[in-house]
């Protein structure tokens, strides 16, 4: 019986070469969740507000009816126009009959051409009046339809400023709507204005003002990735204002903050400068007898002093900054047989 082939030794991992790389100086700031745009749903006619269908917090679709305005005078105008239209139609039918009689008399030679022309003109006038009255009736009907207050954009109702039964004028706001697209509005000191630009990556902490610090490198999955969307060209009270987006589930827009409350505060890490530093993955460092150690590729162990964790940002992986003990070009291997937990 053939013996199973023995498994060969697992090849060691390739050494990690220590090099200097750019490291961002991250500043933790508070960002406020704000909608990209806020708009107001306004009445289009004067009348009495009825059928208010929304409250604060409701989501609405673009063009959704959120309230109705009723003007009783429009119904009276429509009834008056309907009566006048019926009168004009009756006069038109009579004029058509007279025109047919005038044509017969003219054909038999007993009627005059003037009588025929007068009858034709009277019929044309009645038809024109009927068309004008029909247009007036359509205007009244359109005004009645404009009594519906429509949501000008899809979003969430922030504030309802009207009450059912109130008398409103045309153009008065009924509700304030925040669009579904939200941003994180940052405000940084003026000295950081030259470091921040559109497209820069940011790290966003958890909701509920959970800390978002560089120490979260080991739990980097707790930090959401975002991008600076816009840097406003005007300073406000000595601060530079910028908007950041946080995509959700691979989306490319600010859908990641769509479920936040408008005005909610979130901790955000923003790069406010770049410097060169030695950064190594934490698996290449270990703690032995209270000292941090690193193993070189030739087997020597060196004592190192590490600094703060460096979170992953953009295309740069996470790691630990090494302050002393290593130099560029050193090759590290993962320590084996350590009795204490690696960093």
Domain ranges in the chain are 16-36+181-333, 40-71+147-179, 72-145
Mean pLDDT of the chain: 83
Count of other CB atoms within 10 angstroms of residue 128: 11
Class of domain 16-36+181-333: mainly beta
Structure tokens at 111: 């009627």
Cα 331 to the chain's mean position, in Å?
47
Q: Measured in Å, how far apart are the chain's first and last C-alpha atoms? A: 48
Per-residue pLDDT tens digits for 95-122: 999 999 988 888 888 888 888 899 999 9
CB 81 within 8 A of CB 137: yes
CB-facing half-sphere around the CA of 295: CA atoms within 13 A: 15
Under 8 Å CB-to-CB from 131, ≥6 apart: which residues? none
Per-residue pLDDT tens digits for 135-184: 999 999 999 999 999 999 988 898 999 999 999 999 999 999 988 678 89
**pLDDT at position 144, please?**
92
CA–CA distance, 223 with 216 (Å, rounded to integer): 8
Looking at domain 40-71+147-179, its CATH architecture is: Beta Barrel (2.40)
CA–CA distance, 217 with 322 (Å, rounded to integer): 15
CA–CA distance, 168 with 23 (Å, rounded to integer): 59
What does each C-alpha distance from 308 to 18, 152, 279, 313 come to in angstroms? 17, 49, 10, 15
Per-residue pLDDT tens digits for 216-266: 444 444 678 888 889 998 888 888 999 998 875 444 444 556 567 888 888
C-alpha closest to that of 54 among 145, 163, 136: 163
């Amino acid at each position: 019986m053939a013996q199973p082939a023995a498994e060969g030794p697992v090849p060691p991992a390739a050494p990690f070469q220590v090099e200097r790389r750019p490291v961002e100086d991250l500043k933790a700031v508070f960002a406020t969740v704000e909608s990209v745009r806020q708009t107001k749903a306004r009445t289009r006619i004067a009348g009495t507000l009825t059928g208010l269908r929304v409250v604060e917090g409701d989501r609405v679709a673009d063009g959704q009816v959120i309230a109705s305005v009723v003007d009783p005078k429009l119904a009276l105008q429509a009834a008056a126009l309907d009566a006048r239209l019926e009168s004009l139609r009756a006069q038109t039918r009579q004029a058509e009959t007279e025109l047919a009689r005038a044509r017969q008399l003219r054909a038999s030679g007993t009627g005059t051409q003037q009588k025929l022309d007068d009858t034709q003109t009277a019929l044309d006038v009645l038809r024109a009046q009927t068309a004008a009255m029909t247009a007036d009736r359509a205007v009244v009907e359109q005004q009645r339809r404009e009594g519906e207050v429509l949501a000008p954009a899809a979003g969430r109702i922030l504030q309802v400023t009207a009450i059912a039964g109130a008398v409103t004028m045309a153009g008065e706001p009924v509700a304030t709507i925040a669009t579904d697209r939200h941003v994180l509005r940052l405000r940084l000191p003026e000295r950081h204005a030259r470091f921040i630009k559109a497209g820069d990556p940011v790290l966003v902490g958890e909701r509920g003002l959970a800390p978002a610090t560089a120490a979260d490198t080991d739990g980097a999955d707790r930090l959401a990735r975002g991008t600076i969307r816009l840097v406003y060209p005007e300073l406000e009270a000595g601060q530079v204002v910028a908007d950041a987006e946080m995509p959700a589930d691979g989306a490319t827009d600010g859908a990641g903050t769509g479920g936040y409350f408008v005005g909610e505060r979130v901790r955000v890490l923003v790069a406010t400068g770049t410097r060169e530093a030695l950064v190594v993955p934490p698996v290449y460092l270990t703690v032995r007898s209270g000292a941090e150690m690193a193993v070189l590729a030739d087997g020597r162990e060196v004592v190192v002093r590490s600094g703060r964790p460096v979170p992953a940002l953009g295309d740069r992986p996470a790691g630990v900054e090494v302050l002393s003990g290593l130099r560029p070009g050193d090759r590290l291997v993962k320590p084996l047989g350590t009795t204490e937990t690696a960093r």
